Chain A
Amino acid sequence: MDNLPGSPARRGWLQWIDPRGKQGGGWGFLINRLAGLGLTFYLFLHLMVLGKLANGPESYDGFVKLAHHPVVVAGEVLVVLAVLLHGFNGIRILLTSFGIGVARQRLWLVLAGVLALGIGLFFILRMAGVLS
């Protein structure tokens, strides 16, 4: 209208990570992005570590000692969860992108989460020695 200067739209990538008001698929979107970023970072680390192999057994052994540090173990757990969440939700997104199962996408999201966390829990318990 003719008297309204207006301001630029309130946008920004912060909207991606803002948890307030998020529902269902918004969480799927966020988790996939965080998991994706996390896995990319992990891939980089992984390659770095493998690179140490080129420096000989002492260098690699040094890393293996570090691998028992609780932070690294926690990181491993996160990686597994990230792979599971990103993977299962990714399958949901792949299928819905081709128009398959879209009407029940919220159900698939919940299932993806349950599967990912269930298998993740199994992995954690195994690592903790509770399960073999």
Chain B
Amino acid sequence: MPQTKPTALIIGAGFTGIATAYDLAMRGFQVDVLERGELGSGTSGRTHGLLHSGARYCVHDQEAAVECVAENAILRKIARQCIEGNSGYFIAVNESDLAFAESFTRGAEQCSLPIAEVPPAELLTVEPMLSPQLLRAFRVNDGTFDPLRLAYAFAASARQHGARFYPYCEVEELLLDQSRRVVGASVWNRVTDQRQQYQADVLINTAGVWAGRIAAMAGIELPVKPVPGVMVAVEKRLCQNTINRLNEPGDGDIILPQRRMVVIGTTSFDAVDVDYIPIIREQVEQMVDQGSEMIPAIRQTAHRGVFMSSRPLIKASGDARNLARTCKVYDHEKSDGVGGFFSLIGGKATTCRAMAEKISDMVSARFGIDAACQTARIELESYRKFFQFGTEQA
């Protein structure tokens, strides 16, 4: 009897879903990925593109910081083609910033996060557009990545291992059998305007800020909290490395170079419907104000693009700024009595590979598949090869 591969249906092709498709396909699953739009067209595409050093989290979310340190190095190796592999700096421009330095350096040490103090005069030769009020600076291992290329690099590798991608296919219902096991999904194919059904041995919900909507189709409540914020991209590459405000996580605390732009981010507010969020003018002005404190020329630089992006946070008590950025994985058979269904919520772009490993470990164990995760060791395929691998028609 030929061994047939177990089938997995992944809902949501953001970084998490695509990386999971890659991992599971490598471990021997036949993977199909359903995505209601273009790959990465949810939160993932709208990341400002920070390859996290982890330093932003080293005081209040040390678990996330430690994860970032490891994954930063891994992505620099496996996704080199998508990453401006420069550095980042945490800079102090006023007394409040200076006061934070002690917690920052202590946090970095606790997380074994490499930082190096740089004299302001020296940094100003490397980054001449920084505010002359520069008081103190630390170098960290930040980088910039391109979201489409990172998504498609993982997707190309997934396809190379036999995964199939179905964009413009929106899941409308989950199909459950009598024993409350999820066995498939009913899908609206927006290209052909037809309804189709997909079956699989296991369904994995990686729909990001919409994961709650998917889980609700199986009667499950997931603590997903979308927290949008604004980003402002301006017309000049005013810095060569990421510039972060040395202070508590707050609005406008990062300026990230990317191609010939810099991107200033971000704000944080509650929203319920995140399919479309109009740009909030006051927040744009706020970004310019905050950004100009670190790089004064921002005030005179024309805006290239302004957009809203929703972080997929996990509901918990506390201020949204300090909600954990680690992820949570659910085996719904154990947590809700619904079999054949897993969800992953939360997380961030930099740790997408690790999140995929986490859920792939869980799913593989369920199916008695002993394969260890290989994704950290192998360089991803060229993102352009996505259009080459795989079958042509469903």
Contact = CB atoms under 8 A, between A and B. Distances in A.
Nearest to B163: A2
A48 B164 CA distance: 65
Contacts of A54: none
A4 B168 CA distance: 9
Contacts of B390: 1-2
A2 B191 contact: no
A3 B390 CA distance: 11
B165 interface: yes
B188 interface: no
A3 B169 contact: yes
A5 interface: yes
Interface in A1-58: 1-5
B394 interface: yes
A4 B191 contact: yes
Contacts of B169: 3
Contacts of B167: 1, 3-4
A3 B191 contact: yes
Contacts of A5: 191-192, 393
Contacts of A4: 167-168, 191
Contacts of B394: 2-3
Nearest to A4: B191
A3 B34 CA distance: 10
Interface in B167-204: 167-169, 189, 191-192
Nearest to B155: A1
Contacts of A1: 165-167, 390
Nearest to B169: A3
B102 interface: no
Query: Which residue, of A1, A3, A4, A5, has the highest number of chain B Cβ atoms within 10 A?
Result: A1
Nearest to A5: B393
A4 B169 CA distance: 11
Interface in B210-234: none
A4 B165 CA distance: 10
Query: Which residue, of B189, B391, B394, has the highest number of chain A Cβ atoms within 10 A?
Result: B394
B189 A2 contact: no
A3 B391 contact: no
8 contacts: A1-B165, A2-B166, A2-B390, A2-B394, A3-B169, A3-B189, A3-B393, A5-B192
Interface of B: 164-169, 189, 191-192, 390-394
Q: Which 4 A-B pairs have CB atoms at the shortest separation, nearest pair first? A: A3-B394, A2-B164, A3-B166, A2-B394
Given A1-B166, A1-B167, A2-B164, 11 more contacts: A1-B165, A2-B165, A3-B166, A3-B167, A3-B168, A3-B169, A3-B191, A4-B167, A4-B168, A5-B191, A5-B192
